[in-house]
Each structure stands twice: as structure tokens, then as C-alpha cells.
Structure 1
Amino acid sequence: MNDKVLVDLQGVGKSFRMGDGASRKVLDGVDFTLQSGEIVALLGKSGSGKSTLLRIISGLVKADAGKACYRGAPLSEPVPGIAMVFQSFALFPWLTVQQNVELGLEAQGVAADERAVRSEAMLDLMGLSGFEGALPRELSGGMRQRVGIARALVTNPDVLLMDEAFSALDVLTGETLRNDILELWDHGRIPTRGILVVSHNIEEAVMMSDRIIMLSSDPGRIRTEIKIDLPRPRNADSPAVRQLVDEVYGLMTMRPAPAAGPAREAGPDYRLPDADIETIEAVLTLLASAPFEGRADLPRLSDESELPGEELFPACEALSLLGLAIVEGGDIAMTALGRRYEAADHAGRQAIFGRQLLAQVTLPQLVYSMLRASADGALPEEQILSLLMETSEQEEARRIMRTAVEWGRYGEIYEFDFHTRRLRLA
């Protein structure tokens, strides 16, 4: 085993049993290595299995397939060399700051005197000296997260896992805490040898990491890897950083290629982005308004819309799929049809939407043709779902079906009876 390899995943897969008894595959065939001396960021849309992958590495969840190892030993339970920081802080409200930080050491059987010395030193390092006796409710969000990070680091872990660790904080607090962690890392003031960050914030990933791993969704597979050679600290406004941010935005909004396999190769792609009509139209309206006037840099559009990536990316993909905008290289631009759509009244928008569904979107085209071919112009929902489940997991097939129903009803090409679960020509 290479001493530089901290975490090694080979062909890792994971499925969960859903409430209806069906199995949903969350991860499939994931190969990943975290080496000593690197920070890696995991990006992916909703359903890509980012947090599940982190929990497999932490030992909290066991993989169903493949191998997950820490320093060559199989991972099937939490190990002392790996610590995690959670988005929700996960502090015990009845314990003081120092008591919260000492929990991991207590679990390892460290003596009380040593626990006190190590926890006080870590609190000082994290800028929390003087708050040892405070309760979590007396601290700001940023300070509570510093306690969570101190609790993880006080055990001297080889690997630090950060699951959306800054997303519950306001922008300035999150940026300050992120920069403090990077300064400690770059100056060797923390014992950690490798950091794995799960994030939905693209700029955060570019500013922190040496590599970005992008996961596809349903199930999660590694889609792209981007190596970042820029020295830290990085200037968020530098051309090199902005170019990388644009590149990652472009990749995140790109419609993924169908997964390999006979079913995908043999038939059309029925997938639809997880975007509702309201969000699609809100993004188009923002794009049409000042200061964008029809063309925008996606990072700036994200800032202005205040939409998280898991909502913005599917909306941009939908606009592209419908021919209302073009997404390329981290930019989005309205088409002439998109401008007509934005200027139209409600009925005019519905008419354009319906025409584009029938002209450009495979699944609504199929549903419409099947309805026209049926004797009474109607079909049970299950008939379409069965077709979708040939190439998608059950939960994803149902999600696609919900989107197809909403889009088709809005475009007035078919109707849906929620009582009988039947589709009918409009």
C-alpha cells in the first residue's frame, strides 16, 4: 500500500431501501483516492450521492459493492484517523464548548487532564479562547461551526471530512472561516494530512481544493475530475480563478451523456431536468432584465438569483433543452425564441412551451404520440413509468414523470387526473 494514499475506493456502490420497498441505487462504480497533502472537493447535483460517499469514507455507512479502505484497511465502521464536520454543527446544547470538543477524546479513552490540555489548545487555535465555558446557544453560527471543527481536529485525524460545513453560515462568515482553515492547513498548524470537502458552492470548491471531483446523478458516478495547480491563498477575482469557476459552472450545467449500457445505447434519452415552471421562468426573467440584458456569466447569475446550484443548474438545463437559452462555457444567453417567450403573456408562454415540448423534448413527444394512438386518447401513468424504469431507478423515474406531467399540463399538450392517475390529450 502506498503510504501517500489515505483513502482508496474501488468500484464502490450503495443502494437504499425506500419507503415503498423499492431499492434506490445512490452510488455506482465509484473509484476515488485521497492522497496525503491534498484537498479534494466533491461537487454534484441533488441525487449524486455526495453525502453518502462521505459517510462511507467516515465509516458511518457501509458500501454494498466494491472496496472502501483507509490506509489499506477496509472501512466498515468509524476509525480514529477520520473525523467529520457537519453542516448542522451537531453540538450537544447542554454541554459547554470545551465539553463538546472533548467528546471525541473521551470516546478514545484519553485521560481527563490530557483532554483538557488538548481541547484548550485547539480552541485557542480556532480563535475560541475564552469561550470554553459557554453553551452553544450563546455563540454565533460561525463560532458554533468553529467548535465543530475544533472537536474534529482535536483527535488529530489523518483525514478531515467536511459535509457542506460552511453552507449554514452567511457568506462573509463562511468565507472567513474557510480562509482560516486554509491558513492553518497551508502552514501545517493542524495535524490533518488530507481534506475532503462536499460542497454545492463552486467558488468555494475552486478556492479551497487541489482537485475537484464532479459526480453525475441517479446513481452517482464520477463524471469529471479537474486538477487545480494555483497556489494558495487564491484571489477570488483573479482571471485564473474566474476562468476555473466559469469552467466548472459550464460543466455543472452541461446535460450529462446517457449512462453506458445496453438499455441506454438502444433507446432514446427520456431524462428531464428537475426544474419546475416557476423557477424556469424566474431565471429567464432575471436573465432578460438589467444588468444582464439577455446574457450572463453563470456565477454572477447565481449570485443575483440567490438560487442554490441544485436549483439553478436544472433550470438552465431546462431553458437549453427548450431552446429558450444557450448554455456554453459558463455563460448563458437567451435565444430569439427565449426573448419572445419572456415578452409574451401567460397564454403566449404556454403556447410556446407546448410547441417546444413537441419539437425538442423526447419524453413529452412520446407521451403525446402514445395518447394519440390510444383508442380513447388516455393512458395510465404506470404505462409511462414502466418505460422510464427500464433505464432509471424507480424514484428517479417517478421524479421524471412528475416533471413530465407538470411541463405537459403547462404546455397544454396533455392533462393528468390525479385521482385516476391517467393522462389524457388536452
Structure 2
Amino acid sequence: MLLTAKDVAKAFRAGERAYPVLYGVNLDLKEGEVVALLGRSGGGKSTLLRILAGLIPPDGGEVRFKGKRVEGPVEGMAMVFQTFALFPWLTVLDNVALGLEARGMPKKERLERAREAIALIGLRGFEEALPKELSGGMRQRVGFARALVVEPEVLLLDEAFSALDPLTAEGLRGDFLDLWLSGQISTRAVLMVTHNIEEAVALADRALLLEGSPARIGKEIPIPLPHPRDPSDPRFRALVDQIYEALTLREEVERRLEEELLRLPDAPVGALMSLAEAIARLGGRADLPPLAEEEGLEVDDLFPLLEALELLGFARVEKGDVELTPAGLAWAEASLEERKVMFADHLLRRIPLFARLHRALLERRRIPEGWVLNRLKEHLPEPEAKRVLSVLLEWGRYAGLLAYHEGSRMLHLPPGPR
């Protein structure tokens, strides 16, 4: 056992209020395995990874690396971030050697080690280049080289491939997997945060799913396929479907909790209409993985749209499939004006938060944006409150139930309100 987390908890604070993000997280990482950590956007995946790395402390519980309690950055672990995080004024060689310099390694030795890591990751000949002279894929390779040069026993990947275009990401994933399987790197275990389910099935030996709010490890799914893995293999597709299904299962208790906390999914109306139309074209029911692929949607894009369609009463998500309700099918096939009327009706009937806001508008005619934001901030952190407010404004304006004046920052009833 290389890395363990026991009963880890974390909350972020705004003033005197605490907002729990993680609670009771238990996790083990064993030698010789790649583990994928998945969950909904904003669910605490990256926060957990930073706690494991010793970059931020937990509020409760503990993390141990090789049996020793982690109380800060640990020699023996390294992280590759989603963003390239390179110093723009340093060459590739100097960026890679930086971690060795911080450890006090003599210059000649650290430059030699850095050159070896650069060659290993496929960038020989670019040692003196600056980051601005490199493509996105090459810059991320520098990030991998910088992590590998310190010869970590545990490598943490925080959506390390997500900022790249699909072909570049596939190439870098393949090269990294070759290094891992061939034993050319010192790393003994890998923990990767990803929102790409196919990526998890392609690389990992098992997948851990973060669930709930605050989040915890809710389910573990083994991925026992031999390498190399073929995405068209029925066993591969079955595992993708299984993870999709597990991620879309939501207990009613959790749903009620989120509604009480006034959370609304980040779902633009245009994207909702496009998704509903796509499901309608497929006969009103669709399997989530091929639907996501057809619409070019990642998990973090797809799930908020599905959640919004469910909340509005336009769809049901069950066992990795989505099915339009009769109302959802009618909405997808209606004219633009009919859609607005139907959306307004469902918004008032199905979203209590918006119904309360609309009643307040009917009573007062005009409401300051700040008044609404302050009500939301009583229950949510400020960034989340602002996000929910933006969703309320977009949905309400589309439905013709409210208007918003940018200059005065006032919400008011549109002419001829319902």
C-alpha cells in the first residue's frame, strides 16, 4: 500500500460560513495500479487530489504515504496539472530541471537528469525552446517530464489530458501508457482525476466514483481488461456503460438535499434544446455513451444538461439511458414560440426556487439583482450563488417570465407578463 486516505474531510469557508466539499473519504492506492477518480463537475475531485499530494491540508481525517502521515508536499509524489503551468521565461530544460534544483541537486546532475526525462517523453531537440514556441501537446509533455524527472513513486494526474485536442490527447495517453507498462519510469502507482469515461477505461485498473454533497467514494468499479484495450471491444463498451450508469444514478435523498441548497445545473437553454432534439431523433430514448459521442459532449457538459431536463420534467435518466417524457418529446418537436410557453410552464411548476422569485416579482414588479444574490448567498458560497443567479436569469428571460436591465442591475417583469 503506497497511499491511503482515511475519513478525509474538507470544507471551504466564506466569512463565518463553512461549505463542506468532502466528508468521510476513504481511499487506497496500491503498488502496480492505475486508479481513475471520476465524479460530477465541482464534486471535489481536484480538491481531494491536492489533499493527497499534501498541497492543502484536510480539515479532518488523514493521508498516509508509505505509512507516514502526509503533512505537506512529500518527496516521492508528483503531480501533472490540467493547465501546463510552465514558467514562460524558462526553457524546456530549465522548466524540467526546476524541481531537482529545489531539492539541492548539483547543476550538472540535474541538467543531465532533465535531458533524460525530456528524451523519454519524446521532446529531444527542444531542450532550449521556450513554452511559447511549443504546441499545447508539447507543453503538456514538458509537464509530464517535469513530474517524472523527480522519479516519483506515486504520480497524480489532474485531468492531465483534458486541455488537449482529441488526437493529441490520444497520442500522449498512448505514449504515457507505453512508458508505464514497459517499466521505463520509476512510478509505482498512478491516481488520475478525469471526466472522460473512455479515458478511464483505456488506462485504469479500477475506477472510483465520488458521490454526494459533500462528496465521498461511493462505488468502485474494477476494469480487468488486458492492454492494449480496444474501444470497440464489447467488454470496453460495457464498462463505459456501467460507469455512465453509476454516475447518473442519484438517490432521492441526495436530490432533495441539492434542491434544498438551491443548486441549479449549469445548462444553457440552447444546449438543452439541442440535446432534446437529438434524443427525439433517436425515437425519444438514447444510450448515454453514443449520445455523448454523437453530440460531442464530455461528461462534465452532458450531466448538467441531463439534470436540467430531469428537473424540468422533460426527461428521465435510468441505468445509463435517457428517455424523454411525453412533455419532453412535445417540447423537442414544438415550434420556437410553443417551446417558450412550455418551458415557462415547467419552470414555474417544477423549479421551486424560480417560482418563489417570480412571486416576488409579481408582488414588487422590480427586484435588485443584489437582493436575489444575497438570498442565495445565505445558502451557497458566493461563486456558486452567482452561477445559480445567472442560470435563473437565462432561463427566466428565455421563458419570458422576467427581464433584466444591465445598467440598473434590476430584475423586472417583461411587458405583458403571464
**TM superposition score category, shorter chain reference:** 0.7 to 0.9
Question: CA offset at residue 172 of structure 1?
Answer: 1.0
Deviates more, 1:225-234 or 1:214-223: 214-223
- Distance in 1, Cα, partners of 2:368 & 2:344: 21
Q: Given the alignment of the two structures, is residue 49 of structure 1 paired with residue 44 of structure 2, yes or no?
A: yes
Match of 1:298 among 288, 294, 303: 288
- Distance in 2, Cα, partners of 1:388 & 1:216: 24
Letter in 2 for 1:346: L
Letter in 2 for 1:284: A
- Distance in 1, Cα, partners of 2:246 & 2:203: 18
Match of 1:352 among 342, 348, 365: 342
Question: CA offset at residue 114 of structure 1?
Answer: 2.3
Q: Given the alignment of the two structures, is residue 286 of structure 1 paired with residue 278 of structure 2, yes or no?
A: yes
TM-aligned CA distance change 1:352 to 1:103, over 3 Å: same
Structure 2 equivalent of residue 177 of structure 1: 172
Match of 1:93 among 88, 92, 100: 88
- Distance in 2, Cα, partners of 1:234 & 1:379: 57
Question: CA offset at residue 50 of structure 1?
Answer: 1.3
- Distance in 2, Cα, partners of 1:276 & 1:31: 35
Question: CA offset at residue 234 of structure 1?
Answer: 1.0
SS of aligned partner of 1:258: helix
Question: CA offset at residue 285 of structure 1?
Answer: 2.6
Question: CA offset at residue 191 of structure 1?
Answer: 0.7
Instruction: Note the alpha carbon deviations across 1:293-320, whole angstroms, 9 max, x for none.
Output: 5443322332333333222211112223
Q: Given the alignment of the two structures, is residue 333 of structure 1 paired with residue 323 of structure 2, yes or no?
A: yes
- Distance in 2, Cα, partners of 1:272 & 1:60: 30
Structure 1 regions of 5+ residues with no counterpart?
Answer: none
Question: CA offset at residue 16 of structure 1?
Answer: 2.6
- Tell me the C-alpha RMSD between the 2 structures: 3.4
SS of aligned partner of 1:84: strand
Structure 1 equivalent of residue 207 of structure 2: 212
- Distance in 1, Cα, partners of 2:139 & 2:409: 50
Letter in 1 for 2:270: E
SS of aligned partner of 1:124: helix
Question: CA offset at residue 241 of structure 1?
Answer: 1.0
- Distance in 2, Cα, partners of 1:153 & 1:229: 26
Instruction: Note the alpha carbon deviations across 1:142-199, whole angstroms, 9 max, x for none.
Output: 2221121111111111110111111111111111111111121122221111111111
For the Cα contact (< 8 Å) 2:137–2:168, is it kept in 1? yes
Question: CA offset at residue 256 of structure 1?
Answer: 4.7
Q: Given the alignment of the two structures, is residue 273 of structure 1 paired with residue 265 of structure 2, yes or no?
A: yes
Instruction: Note the alpha carbon deviations across 1:314-335, whole angstroms, 9 max, x for none.
Output: 1112223333233233232333
TM-aligned CA distance change 1:241 to 1:84, over 3 Å: same
Question: CA offset at residue 395 of structure 1?
Answer: 5.5
For the Cα contact (< 8 Å) 2:240–2:289, is it kept in 1? yes
For the Cα contact (< 8 Å) 2:366–2:410, is it kept in 1? no
Deviates more, 1:402-411 or 1:27-36: 402-411
Letter in 1 for 2:293: D
Paired residues in the alignment total 414
TM-score (norm 1): 0.83
- Distance in 2, Cα, partners of 1:389 & 1:256: 26
Instruction: Note the alpha carbon deviations across 1:345-398, whole angstroms, 9 max, x for none.
Output: 233112222333455445456667x769x9879999999989978976676566
- Distance in 1, Cα, partners of 2:213 & 2:307: 16
- Distance in 1, Cα, partners of 2:163 & 2:372: 39
For the Cα contact (< 8 Å) 2:75–2:152, is it kept in 1? yes
Structure 2 equivalent of residue 166 of structure 1: 161
Deviates more, 1:212-221 or 1:395-404: 395-404
- Distance in 2, Cα, partners of 1:383 & 1:132: 55
Within a 5 Å distance, the mapping from 1:73-88 to structure 2 comes to: 73-88=68-83
For the Cα contact (< 8 Å) 1:46–1:217, is it kept in 2? no
- Distance in 2, Cα, partners of 1:394 & 1:251: 30
For the Cα contact (< 8 Å) 1:255–1:317, is it kept in 2? no
- Distance in 2, Cα, partners of 1:94 & 1:413: 52
Instruction: Note the alpha carbon deviations across 1:52-92, whole angstroms, 9 max, x for none.
Output: 11111222211122212222222222111110111222222
For the Cα contact (< 8 Å) 1:12–1:29, is it kept in 2? yes
TM-score (norm 2): 0.85
Deviates more, 1:46-55 or 1:302-311: 302-311
SS of aligned partner of 2:322: strand
For the Cα contact (< 8 Å) 1:218–1:393, is it kept in 2? no
SS of aligned partner of 1:12: strand
- Distance in 2, Cα, partners of 1:383 & 1:256: 33
TM-aligned CA distance change 1:193 to 1:413, over 3 Å: same
Paired-residue identity, %: 46
TM-aligned CA distance change 1:134 to 1:379, over 3 Å: closer
Structure 2 equivalent of residue 117 of structure 1: 112
TM-aligned CA distance change 1:61 to 1:351, over 3 Å: same
- Distance in 1, Cα, partners of 2:155 & 2:265: 33
Structure 2 regions of 5+ residues with no counterpart?
Answer: none
- Distance in 2, Cα, partners of 1:218 & 1:379: 31
SS of aligned partner of 1:47: coil
- Distance in 2, Cα, partners of 1:112 & 1:380: 61
Letter in 2 for 1:335: T
Q: Given the alignment of the two structures, is residue 14 of structure 1 paired with residue 10 of structure 2, yes or no?
A: yes
TM-aligned CA distance change 1:352 to 1:149, over 3 Å: same
- Distance in 2, Cα, partners of 1:381 & 1:251: 38
Structure 2 equivalent of residue 192 of structure 1: 187
TM-aligned CA distance change 1:16 to 1:41, over 3 Å: same
